[in-house]
Every structure is written in C-alpha cells, then in structure tokens.
Structure 1
Amino acid sequence: MNAMTFAEHAATLQAAYQALLETEPKLRARERAARLNVSEAELIAAQCGVTASPLTGTAQEIFRELPTLGSVMVLSRNDWCVHERHGEYEQVDAEKGIGLVLGKDLDLRMFFSMWKTQFAVLEGERRSVQFFDGAGVAIHKVYLTEHSNVAAFDALIAKFGNGEATWPQTAAYPVDETPSQAQDTAALRAAWLALTDTHGFFPMLRKHNVSRLGALQAAGNDLAQSVAIDATEIMLQAAAASELAIMCFVGNRGIVQIHSGPVQKLVRTGPWYNVLDPKFNLHLNTEAIASCWVVNKPTSDGWVTSLEVYAANGELIVQFFGVRKPGVPELPEWRALMESLCSTPLAK
C-alpha cells in the first residue's frame, strides 16, 4: 500500500472516529472499533486519538525488553472481561511459541503464534506498548505508571520503532467448529477421573474432540455443576469478607493473565462488576454471562475446584481458583466456598 493510500485510509477513519467521540465519548477502544466496523489495530495505525509508532521485530523480542520498564500496569481482556495488574516483568521466558512471565505480581502465559502487530502508543501523557492478533484485536497492553522507567520506554522505541507505517492486514478467525457434545460420555468421564494435573484438561478435550463447555455438560454433576448466574459475585463477596486468596484467570487467543491474592474493594457500575484494588482491577460484564459452573478435577494433590464463567457463544469469560501451588492441596476454605454454591455434592 502506497503512502497516499495509507493517508487516505487514516484520514477517513480519523473523521469517523471524531464524529463517534462527539456522540459517545466514554466508549472503550474496543467498543469504538466495533462501532466503526474496523479493528482496534486499525484505529491505532490511523492515529485515532493517539500517536502511535509501529514496532518491528517479533513480540518475543519486544517482550524480552519489557523488564527494563520497571513497574507497569498490564492489561489483557476478552469481549466480556478486563484484567489489569500492576507489577514488574521479572522472569520472562519468550524464546519460543509459548512464553511465560513469572514474578511477585505478574503471571502471564503467552501464545505467540497469535501475535501479529505491535505499537508504541502515546495517548496524551499516557505511554503504552500494545500487541494485536491477526484479526486486529488487542491481546495485551503494557501501560507506564508514575513508577515506570520512561527512558527505557524511549529506548524501546528507538530500538524497535523504525518500521514503516503500513495498514494492518487483518482477517477474521474462522469459527471454532469443535463439537459441543461429547461423542462418548462414558469415555470422557473416565478420562476426566484419570486426570492427575489440571494442565491435562485441555489435552483431554482435544483427544475427545469436544468443546470445554460441552465437556462440562457431559461430565456429571459431581465433576461439573451448573450454578447460579450470580455465582461470581457471591464468590467474590465471600472471598473479600474472609480475606481468602484467590486466583483469577482472564484470557484471549494470545494470552492468559492471572491474579493471585485476596480481593477487597468490590463495586458495581451498571452491567460491570468490578474489583478495584491497588494492584488488581477486574471488570466483568455480568450481562454477558450465560452460565456459571463449579468444575471439579482430580490431581495428584487431591481434588481441585474452579468457578468458570461462560458467554452465550460458549467461550470462557473468566476462571477462578483458590490460591495454590503444584504439590500443595487446595485451600479447604476455597473448597467449602465452591461446595456452598452447589445444589448436589461434588466428587471427593
């Protein structure tokens, strides 16, 4: 695409963007893109409300530089839930297709085959590094705070920001056609009962060619039980009241972002139920919740339970566990909380 064509694309989108801002100024970036029938990556490339520099190199190469930024706020989301966490990139493993970030505050799992474009973004005084998938949907955003290293951000732009501005080439991902019903319920249940680690669950789904929600519906109430639609709010309120440490997983095609620890300040704002703590914010659109499930898996450390929240299209919105490490049994307080949500007993 030549420079003039790029400029025309950008000018057209900027005009539409400004008109939208006048009528709906409080929309989030993803909502603005949806209203304009473009991807969020295209909004960034067109400099809509921001000054953006496309970054060259791979997402892995950029990730290995993120520890230099110091303390930041990282944001990962899907269509229905936003997960924000403050901390530093400490242990970064970003050499291969699957990456890992571990540290006192940040816990991330990256699936880099989905990461296609990235930008350094200035929005007023706010600086960020933003990553997008092949559909132009935001995977992960890294925002500088008052505690961040601005000089390191400038150095990152100097190192990777010499790319020519090109219009993002985006394409919708194909619809997931994994069957939503188990072909052999007895075999699936037997495989579930044979699990020794929660990480074996996804391979089990692939082997039996069934969607995650389809497996829950087939497993039996002692292994997966549908619970009240407001179970997440009940759980968070109970956890906050008892200072129970939880784990909160929010993911999209390219990443899973995890919070481990207690929650304190819970606030509803319209359809959004929020955790508003100093280092952790969660924004959950409860109007998008189609079902909630307590899921019970056997492991070598004993039974492990989770609360899983699903959208109408069957996609996982958010997942909660009690805080635990491999080799350590599940917190009994968490187990009791999960059992209190259920109308029939779980397998023990």
Structure 2
Amino acid sequence: MTTTSTRLERATVITPPDLKQAWTTYRGLHPQTRIRDAAQALGVSEAQLLATGCGETVTRLSAPEGNFGAMIEDLKALGGVMALTRNNEAVHERKGAYSRTELFPSHKMGQVLDEGIDLRLFFTTWAHAFALDAEGKNGKRKRSIQFFSASGEAIHKIFLQDESDTRAFDDYVARFISDDQSPAINVAPAPSHEPERADEEIDVAAFREAWSKLQNTHEFFGLTRKFGVTRTQALRLAAPDMAHQVENSSLRRVLEQAAESALPIMVFVGNPGCIQIHSGTVKNIKPLHEWLNVLDADFNLHVREDLIHSSWVVRKPTAEGIMTSLELYNTAGEQIALLFSKRKDYKEESDKWRALLAALPEVSAR
C-alpha cells in the first residue's frame, strides 16, 4: 500500500501554488524535517521551496549588477551572527562577525577574515539570495540571509543571534530587496562532473615531481588541473610518502584526540561557492546515530560518518615546510571536509598533529 507520505516523497512538483501546498502538507506529516531534506523528498531544490514563502516570511533579494560581494560586505552591520556552510555530508556552523571582508572583483572571489568567521568565496556560482523572517520556537523570530547557486543548492547562510542588530537586518533587506517577489524561481540543472581519465593516461612521474615542488597548498588545485586528474585520483597516484588512505573512522579519532589534548586545529567544509574554516580547539565531540558532531559554544560541526567513502592523510610541501591534512571524500570523489593543524604566524605545523595523523590506521599498504 502506498501512503500519502510516500507519494509526497516521490513527487516532483512544478507550479509554485502546488509546491507550496505540497510543502505545507509535507511539513504537517514531518514537523521536524529540515527544508533541505524536504526539498529532496519533493524533487525540487531548496531555493525553489524557500521561494514559495515570498510575500510572507521570505523576501527575495537582488545583488546590484550581480555583485554578491557588496551583499557580503554589508553583513558587517549585523554584528554577531552565526555563519553556516554545508555540503551533502557535512555542516559547518561558526559564530562571529563579518567585520573584515576582502573582495577580488576581477576574479569574482572574496574572503571574510574575522577571528570567528573565516570564509573563501567564489561568486561565479552564486545566483539567488533570500531573507527569512519567521516566528520560531518560544515566540522568537528566526531571521537569516541565505545564498544559493543557479541550481538552487544552498551556498551560504547567515543566522541572526540574540546579540545581532535586528534594525540593521531590516535595513539590509530594504537595501537589497528585489522587484520580483514571485514565489517561483528558475533553476538550472546541477552541473555534471567530467569523467575521470584513466590512470594510464597520466604522466605519474611528472605529476609526482610537480607535487614535490609545491610552494603553497593553494597550488594543489592548479596541479590537478595541469595534469587533468580528479582530486581523489591525485591522491591515488601520489608518491606513497605524500598521500595514503586511512580508515574512515579517522575523523572521529582525530577530533576526539584533538579535544583530549586541546590541540588547535583547522576544519574546512565547503561547496563550489564557499569554504568555511574553523581555527582553534574542539571540545565536545558527540556521535549521534549516523552523525558525528562537535557541539561547542561558537563552533558546531555535523558530519555524516556513513557517507564518508574515503579518508586520506595528505602531505603537501610549502615554503614553510610540509603541511599535513586529513581529507574526507564522498562516493563521487567530492570533498567533504579537510582538517589541518592550526599554525601560529604561518610557522611549521605542530609535531603533535603530525604524530596524530601518522598513527591513523591505513586501509592498505601502497
């Protein structure tokens, strides 16, 4: 027998009125559901589902001449907020302020360098923006600014906190409000991934030589493009002393041991439009069902351990010495999260960090 819930979960809804009704019905059946999960169940993007609230709790925003950097710069007025960046397997939440923003218009990039909120922004993927102002639990207002890609995938969200400036939020919405407040948006198909080249087509010796000459971790992306390899393929083909696969329980082990020793680390979680970084210690590590959580006062991390397909310890040369990371990937070879040692004044990474990663159990000898 097919239940109403199952029919809704398999539905693909097109028109805004129908979608809004489906969203209302689905919420009634699943009151604890998050909008991202509901959108997936209803066969639409999160941005499409959020847009059904335009004219009520949601306001569509518009970047002036497509300049999303201006929208990020003006978040400074909100004061203390919570920034959220996620992908399908990990959610990164960090409290702080947008006090220092740097933009690089010719490259359509930017960064936020607050002590709490640390972001790398890639505006070529940004397409939609909304403000949400709705009643939450205990009568408190839930206010947020949310950015999405052309395919309707969430890129970055900003949630107001008790200490946030709500008047500045109202001014922000008024400044960037769009003339179009219809409950529908046009979304593009999600970008497809190019097939991975056969390992035999790669000049592995030249690739390993180029890897050994890296001067900065940021050069790694250029290295993969130069040799036409995917990220996980690069790790497979790397010299054994530069990358090796470890057990997928490594994330839990690293977080728990970093917490026990108060070892400062860096945790990167991102998507094609935004990378969010936590720098500092972690304290409260709480596994719950399939989720591994860090639940600290200013930093929360949630990772679906069951969706980690491969984990790697990776070593990259830099001008300041070797940088060692734990890197996590999903079944499609997409990056879930990166963990590094927190370095002081760009000095060499901690010996404790290197020892921690060196002790992680390997999947197999290479």
Specify the alignment match of 1:155 in structure 2. Answer: 171
Which structure 1 residue ranges, 5 or more long, are not aligned?
1-7
Give the corresponding residue for 1:251.
270
Please tell me whether residue 109 in structure 1 is matched to residue 128 in structure 2.
no
**C-alpha distance 61-235 of structure 1, shift in aligned 2 (>3 A):** same
> SS in structure 2 opposite 1:109?
strand
**One-letter identity of the residue aligned with 1:127:** R
Q: Over residues 129-166 of structure 1, what are the superposed CA-to-partner deviations in whole Å (9 max), with x where a residue is unaligned?
A: 00000000110000000010001000011111142224
Q: Among 306, 309, 312, which residue is 1:290 paired with? A: 309
The DSSP-based 3-state class of the residue aligned with 2:38 is: helix
Contact 1:310 1:318 in 2 (8 A): yes
Identify the range of structure 1 (53-62 vs 244-253) with the bigger mean alpha-carbon deviation.
53-62
Contact 2:310–2:329 (8 Å) recurs in 1: yes
After alignment, is 245-254 or 155-164 more displaced? 155-164
CA displacement 1:26-45 (0-9 Å, x = unmatched):
22221111001111111111
Structure 1, 21-30 or 295-304: larger mean CA deviation? 21-30
Q: Find 1:174's aligned residue among 175, 180, 191.
A: 191
Q: CA deviation at 1:9?
A: 2.8
RMSD: 1.9
For the residue of structure 1 that corresponds to 2:347, the secondary structure is coil
Q: In structure 1, how many angstroms separate the alpha carbons of the residues matched to 2:197 and 2:277?
A: 27
Q: 2:258 aligns with which of 228, 231, 239?
A: 239
Residue 43 of structure 1 pairs with residue 49 of structure 2: yes
| Residue identity opposite 2:324 in structure 1 | T
Q: Once the 2 structures are TM-superposed, how far is the Cα of residue 326 of structure 1 from its aligned partner?
A: 6.2
Contact 1:181 1:210 in 2 (8 A): no
Mapped contact 2:54–2:181 kept (Cα < 8 A): no
Letter in 2 for 1:22: G
Contact 2:245/2:362 (<8 A) preserved:
no
Q: How far does residue 242 in structure 1 lie from its aligned partner after superposition? A: 0.1
Alignment partner, residue 137 of structure 1:
153
Aligned-partner SS, 2:322: strand
Maintained 8 Å contact 2:55/2:181: no
1:87 pairs with 2:90: no
Task: Find out whether 1:202 has 2:202 as its counterpart.
Answer: no
| d(CA) in 1 for partners of 2:55, 2:43 | 17
Deviations along 1:248-299, one digit per CA (max 9) or x if unpaired, are 0001010000000000001112101000000000000011011100001111
* Identical amino acids, percent of aligned pairs: 40
SS in 2 for 1:94: strand
Contact 1:273 1:284 in 2 (8 A): yes
AA of the residue aligned to 1:160: F
Do structure 1's residue 300 and structure 2's residue 319 form an aligned pair?
A: yes
5+ unaligned residues in a row in structure 2: which ranges? 1-13, 136-140
Could you say what secondary structure the match of 1:207 adopts? helix
In structure 2, the residue matched to 1:337 is 356
Q: Secondary structure at the match of 2:25?
A: helix
- Partner residue in 2 for 1:3: none
Partners of 1:49 and 1:303 in 2: CA distance: 53
Q: State how far apart, in whole Å, the 1-side matches of 2:55 and 2:354 are.
A: 46
Q: Which residue of 1 aligns with 2:6?
A: none
Q: What is the CA–CA distance in structure 1 between the aligned matches of 2:354 and 2:25, rounded to whole Å? A: 51
Q: TM-score scaled by structure 1?
A: 0.93
Using structure 2 for the length normalisation, give the TM-score.
0.89
Q: Secondary structure at the match of 1:117?
A: strand
Match of 1:63 in 2: 72
CA displacement at 1:52 relative to structure 2: 0.7
State how far apart, in whole Å, the 2-side matches of 1:152 and 1:48 are.
20
**Equivalent residue letter for 2:96:** G
Q: Partner of 1:296: helix, strand, or coil?
A: strand
Seen in structure 2, the aligned counterparts of structure 1 residues 162 and 197 have a Cα distance that, compared at 3 Å, is closer
Residue type at the aligned position of 1:30:
R
Task: Count matched residues.
Answer: 338
Deviation at 1:221, TM superposition (A): 2.3
Pairing 1:258-273 to 2, within 5 Å after superposition? 258-273=277-292
Change (3 A) 1:285 1:84: same
Contact between 1:115 and 1:131, CA under 8 Å: does it hold in 2?
yes
| In 2: Cα distance, 1:203 partner to 1:326 partner | 25
Counterparts of residues 310-325 of structure 1 (less than 5 Å): 310-324=329-343
